Structure 1
Amino acid sequence: MIKIYAPASIGNINVGFDILGAAIYPIDKSLLGDCITIKKSKQFTLKTIGQFSHELPTDITENIVWKCWLYFCKKIKKDISVSIILEKNMPIGSGLGSSACSVVATLVGLNNFLNHPINDNELLILMGKLESLISGTIHYDNVAPCYLGGIQLIINEKKYITQKIPHCNDWFWIIAWPGININTMESRNLLPKKYTKKICIDHSRHIASFIHASHTMQYDLAAQVMKDVIAEPYRTILMPQFNNIKQKIMNIGAMSFGISGSGPSIFAICDNINIAIKIEKKINEEYIVNKNGFVKICKIDNIGTKIIG
């Protein structure tokens, strides 16, 4: 038997639409992510448990874990008789890489269970394909950091799918899910098909500056250029409280603030724990809409997916 944990992630992190992602862990040491348990069985079975398991489709063939198992079997050209338990701790449609957690944990679990028939790069490519079944397009900004940890820059060039870039260990990442869901495809469809030359130039300048600042440890500059000109202006229509809470959080002392992935989750960055606690309190008061919502003060998870049992 093997048990795998895959952490939540922040896609885009404002400045890198579809090409940046960060794995995170709460400083309270709680598990913010999905767990997969795999053991031998005479036939394939799938059981779902956890806080958000009720959000999963009742038809097993619609479950992303079943699809991961099917694609994995096709990849190695062999049917695998295993029993899988999915502990769904991540809300679906949260913008925190929920589907990526399930995909990565399942594929890593199966690969470890069978003594690594697929190498890391091929496994990552397979993760991207499975993620596309949820979002509609292949992208790695959630699966790569979830799998490999840290902040990942998606290059998507054959053997160079992704690269880990430096980050500031002093930063606190405050993430919040309000308790409601947004469909990833719907959120992506809000974006324009074309952008003006000015927006393209601004986006290029911001992402280039962020990568340069990260590698040269100019973290104030890195935070300053974390601006989203690609998605945020259009996705806030699905998040009517976004601009109001953004202004209040920036006034408290956040260095950056934005939409996590496709939303409705948000994140703020600061380098002072007292400010982080104030941000957490303000978001709890004004952005969380029901008892299912949560706010977590986090750090970057440098490990990514790991065996926990």
Structure 2
Amino acid sequence: MKALRAFAPASIGNVSLGFDVLGAALAPVDGTRLGDEVEIKAAEHFSLDVLGPFAHKLPGDADSNIVTKCYHYFCEQMEKAGKPTSPVALTLHKNLPIGSGLGSSASSIVAAFAALNAYFGNPYDEDTLLFMMGELEGQISGSVHYDNVAPCYLGGMTLMTGAAAPLTLSLPLNKDWYYAICYSGISVSTSAARDILPKQVDMATALTFGRQLGVFVHALHAGDFSLAASVMKDVIAEPYRKSLLPGFDDARVYSEQAGALAFGISGSGPTVFAVCPTKEQADDVAEYLTKHYIQNEDGFSHVCQIPTQGTLVTDVNVTDI
């Protein structure tokens, strides 16, 4: 019997300067698998089991779980296309905290769709799958956006095009940058973090946002990483969202004094990230964040880089799941 496992990594949404249009995958340098996993195998009836350190944070009713909704949505699309499906047993390993700013819901969604697509013979291409992932992500956050699902699925740093195809573009990476990331342990819902934002921005802010994003993309392609780092400032969301994050300003001051090139909020928060030119500096910042930014026992810090590999689907022995 065929059985598969899909691992979908954590991600940084916005990457400070790219509100809703820029995202990056994350991979801890110590080999920790920071992301959700979905296992799939044949079954007489559909079922979903939820395991992992943050499973208890999800609704106990499997029908309310986003992975169940992914399965039904996938089957509906297959039926419309005249393609067969069959019942499966899914297991979600919920390794990412909910409301963390690490793309937790995106990770579950991406892993679920990647597992389903591979199990049923890869009927959908990359852009179609991304569209499906965005639709389901929108059910949680209240609006369709791809800044977590795209890098989670594809890896690397991705820029959303706003077009039907390609949905995203892959940006060049600086392999020497390290990202000290820290989840404080508290929860910030994406919808609440969006509600705190103004409904309109003034002309000066809009011009700054556009200039920074344009300069950043150019600088990455030109290999001018110093220039790229200089514009990694959030003028859209951070001024409002940082009020939800205890210790944010102090963490920024320390990180910059320790040599960080940029510091910001990952997605809606409360996770923060510091871009550092060396691993030693990233280790230093991560140690500070662990001591001073974490609020409870759920919090954690990692030193990461941006992986070129996104979601990984592998065969597993059916007796192991």
Instruction: Identify the residue that residue 64 of structure 2 maps to in structure 1.
Output: 62
String of CA shifts for 1:143-166, please: whole Å, max 9, x gaps. 000000100000020112000000
Identity fraction in percent: 44
Q: CA deviation at 1:240?
A: 3.0
Q: CA deviation at 1:285?
A: 1.0
Taking the aligned partners of 2:194 and 2:86, their CA distance within structure 1 comes to 35
Aligned counterpart for 2:268 among listed residues 262, 269, 283: 262
Alignment map for 1:1-309 (pairs within 5 Å): 1-77=3-79, 78=84, 80-309=86-315
Q: CA deviation at 1:308?
A: 3.6
Query: Mean Cα displacement is larger for which, 224-233 or 234-243?
Result: 234-243
TM-score (structure 2 length as normaliser): 0.95
Code of the aligned partner of 1:162:
T
TM-score (structure 1 length as normaliser): 0.99
Taking the aligned partners of 1:156 and 1:83, their CA distance within structure 2 comes to 35
Root-mean-square deviation (CA), in Å?
Answer: 0.8
Unmatched tracts of structure 1, length 5 or more: none
Unmatched tracts of structure 2, length 5 or more: 316-321
The DSSP-based 3-state class of the residue aligned with 2:205 is helix
Code of the aligned partner of 1:61:
D
String of CA shifts for 1:56-111, please: whole Å, max 9, x gaps. 11121210000000100000015530000000000000000000000000001000
String of CA shifts for 1:205-258, please: whole Å, max 9, x gaps. 110110000000000110110010000001011113111211111111100000
The DSSP-based 3-state class of the residue aligned with 2:167 is strand
Taking the aligned partners of 1:2 and 1:255, their CA distance within structure 2 comes to 40
Instruction: Identify the residue that residue 318 of structure 2 maps to in structure 1.
Output: none
Taking the aligned partners of 2:62 and 2:30, their CA distance within structure 1 comes to 34
Residues 28, 304 of structure 2: 8 Å contact kept: yes
Q: CA deviation at 1:15?
A: 0.6
Residues 114, 313 of structure 2: 8 Å contact kept: no
Taking the aligned partners of 2:200 and 2:285, their CA distance within structure 1 comes to 35
Taking the aligned partners of 1:115 and 1:51, their CA distance within structure 2 comes to 31
Matched residue count: 309
Ranges of 4+ aligned residues in structure 1 off by more than 6 Å: none
Taking the aligned partners of 1:182 and 1:219, their CA distance within structure 2 comes to 31
Taking the aligned partners of 1:280 and 1:162, their CA distance within structure 2 comes to 30
The DSSP-based 3-state class of the residue aligned with 1:248 is helix
